[in-house]
Amino acid sequence: MNKNNVIEAQNLTKMFGDFTAVDAITFDVKKGEIFGFLGANGAGKTTAMKMLIGISKPTSGAAKVAGFDVFTNTEDIKKNIGYMSQKFALYGDLTVKENITFFGGIYGLSRKSIKEKSAVLIEELGLEKVASKLVGSLPLGWKQKLSFSVSLLHDPKIVFLDEPTGGVDPITRRQFWEMIYKAAHQGTTVFVTTHYMDEAEYCDRVSIMVNGKIEALDTPKKLKEQFQVDNMNDVFLKLARR
């Protein structure tokens, strides 16, 4: 594995019966990169992501994530990645602090480290006033920012974000992206899916999946040149229903 790559996938394939959900995708993601993983509903994004985070065994092909093999080393993958699902996955009936402590514990952080990280995280997110409130009572945008921070607690090499900003208000959505930029700036690789095409423009590189295959992969600028359009929305419209 090239030491500058955090993900390497070759002909990665997943079949359900005779249906090919992910069809021989090949791509690399570089260290510190913000990688946008786009595609229509049903194109195979979630299935591909499940293989990369070690919870679904590929049918064929090969892939390494954070240096570990997706067939044989899935437990090591899970320790070295962060994951934030599109469905809110913190405990609604635990407080902000309790959630941080719980997930810190799951990832094997020491009590001391959890305490320090909680304080920093709560301050950075401006959650001081609600730190002892139940997470279920917070607005969606706050929950999503908290989820993202929790997924970074154990300093993963790469974090997977599955539609993190769906339904979030426009200001919070931008604050969320500033957090993504910051994480990437500090060396964490960010692998993100979204249906907001303006967010695709924020990525360093973007791949677009159509019917299980990666049909385009480049910087947003080069993709727009290649398809001779002004914005990523039009790139998407041109590709996704060919």
Site string for other proteins, 184-223 (x = CB under 8 A): xx---------xxxx--xx-----------------xx--
CB 73 to other proteins: min, Å? 32
CA–chain centroid gap for 81, Å, is 10
Q: Does 162 bind other proteins (CB under 8 A)?
A: no
In angstroms, rounded to a whole number, what is the distance separating the alpha carbons of residues 155 and 163?
21
Can you tell me which of 20, 73, 86, 95 binds other proteins, judged by CB under 8 A? 86
Region 101-160 residues binding other proteins, contact defined as CB under 8 A: 139-141
CB 60 to other proteins: min, Å? 25
In angstroms, rounded to a whole number, what is the distance separating the alpha carbons of residues 144 and 146?
5
Can you tell me which of 168, 214, 216, 217 binds other proteins, judged by CB under 8 A? 168
* Smaller CB separation from other proteins, 3 or 242: 242
Site string for other proteins, 29-68 (x = CB under 8 A): ----------xxxxx-------------------------
Q: Does 172 bind other proteins (CB under 8 A)?
A: yes
Burial 49-71 (b: 16+ CB within 10 A, else e): bbbbbbebebeebebbbbebebe
| Residue count (the chain) | 242
CB 90 to other proteins: min, Å? 16
Binding site for other proteins (CB under 8 A): 39-43, 86, 139-141, 163, 166-172, 174, 177-178, 181-182, 184-185, 195-198, 201-202, 220-221, 231-233, 236-237, 240-241
